[in-house]
Amino acid sequence: MRQNHTPGREVLAGWPEVLRTGDVQEILGVGRKEVYRLIANGALPAVRAGRGYRILKAALVEWLAGGKAS
């Protein structure tokens, strides 16, 4: 399990460039439903891949910084 820190580029350095919803859960310290809610509301951009979603690490970093991820 990775340490809980305020996520930023340096903290996410060990993560892959394309994240799964479980990765985002661990990074943000939130539950599965919250990640899916963020995706459904369009707050966190994601691409459907099979039965799950993929989120670009760059989009997550931008979203965490308060910018609108595209």
Domain boundaries, the chain: 11-64
Q: Please state the pTM of the whole predicted model.
A: 0.79
The hierarchical CATH code for the domain 11-64 is: 1.10.10.10
Residues 6 or more apart whose CB falls under 8 angstroms from that of 40 comprise none
Angle between helix 21-28 and helix 32-40 axes, rounded to 10 deg: 110
**Per-residue pLDDT, 67:** 63
Query: What's the rounded Cα separation, in Å, for the pair 21 and 27?
Result: 10
Tokens of 51: 């039965």
Mean pLDDT, residues 26-34 taken together = 95
More confidently predicted of 1 and 40: 40
Q: How high is the pLDDT of residue 39?
A: 96
User: In DSSP terms, which residues pair with 48 in a beta bridge?
Assistant: 53
The number of C-alpha atoms within 13 Å of 65 and in the hemisphere containing its C-beta is 12
